[in-house]
Amino acid sequence: MKILAIDPGYERIGIAIIEKPEKEKEVLLYSDCFKTPATLPFSERLSLIGQEISRVISKFTPTVLAIETLFFAKNQKTALGVAEARGVITYEAARHNLNVHEYTPLQVKMAIAGHGRGDKTDILRMLPKLITITKKVRHDDEYDAIAVGLTCSASQNYYKQSKTSTTRKN
């Protein structure tokens, strides 16, 4: 299974491609922090996001999009912009026939740190234990995308295992 994992935004978007080989630890194939220039009109920034997501999908051919749900902060203008960027990202995923899975920040913290009160330090400490990373990850947005992708991989593996064990009991 190959997962396109996204930490959404409109100024900076964390992007990761994670592969889960059978019976092996996940491998990071690609990660980046895609940035859009603040000097451009918002509609052009959204267009650039769509183009980049389409490029990454075409290059790596994932079958799943894992994306973090929107966490409403105090700044509603920022939240609305991120929501629009998420719309572009999920549109591109649908256009390329990817299954879309959304995860809350709490779900990501639970999956990676083992508890919902995990902070950045807990996540950063756990990631190298959970996934093979052979490149230098430069931005927090990349780490956040990797964590979302691992959450998806873990939930998909759990779903497969529970479905298999339910089938065996029958």
Catalytic site positions: 7, 68, 141
Burial 118-149 (b: 16+ CB within 10 A, else e): beeeebeebbeebbebeeebebebbbbbbbbb
Whole-angstrom distance between the N-terminal and C-terminal Cα of the chain?
A: 27
C-alpha dist (Å) from residue 107 to 51, 114, 162 = 29, 10, 19
Structure tokens at 13: 């978007």
